[in-house]
Structure 1
């Protein structure tokens, strides 16, 4: 997504766009030209899922830092995150 273009895309909300990329399986758009990230898609997906948990609008849904660390270290399973912005329209 070109964040500098004119029109509707210019008004896109980054969290919505990132969630849409996750949901649609287009994570490569999030890390464009980052070969290291693209080489390990499973790890990339896990990191994006953790990030989506951390940006939930409802603070009660956000994991503790301890839980985030456990997810990053693969001590606990990362569950599928809900939409971080339930009150905004996703693209």
Structure 2
């Protein structure tokens, strides 16, 4: 029992609730500029584009109280074309 508690404590010590925020890449809505949205604050805006070497990039933004977009999530996956 004691070893289990020590193991759990060590595992949780390595956890982090905040990671590095994703950076905009070419094709992102906020790459090199400040984007504003007409939607109410807290709205999630999704963006998808074909990125580097044919990879599909999926992004999620949250509208801030001043109307600007904040990038919260960014994932990249292969884009398969079906003919």
Whichever of the two has the greater Rg, that structure is 2
Query: Which structure shows the bigger proportion of residues in helix conformation?
Result: 1
The TM-score with structure 1 as length reference comes to: 0.20
Larger RCO (alpha carbons 8 Å, 6+ apart): 1
Query: Which structure shows the bigger proportion of residues in strand conformation?
Result: 2
The TM-score with structure 2 as length reference comes to: 0.21
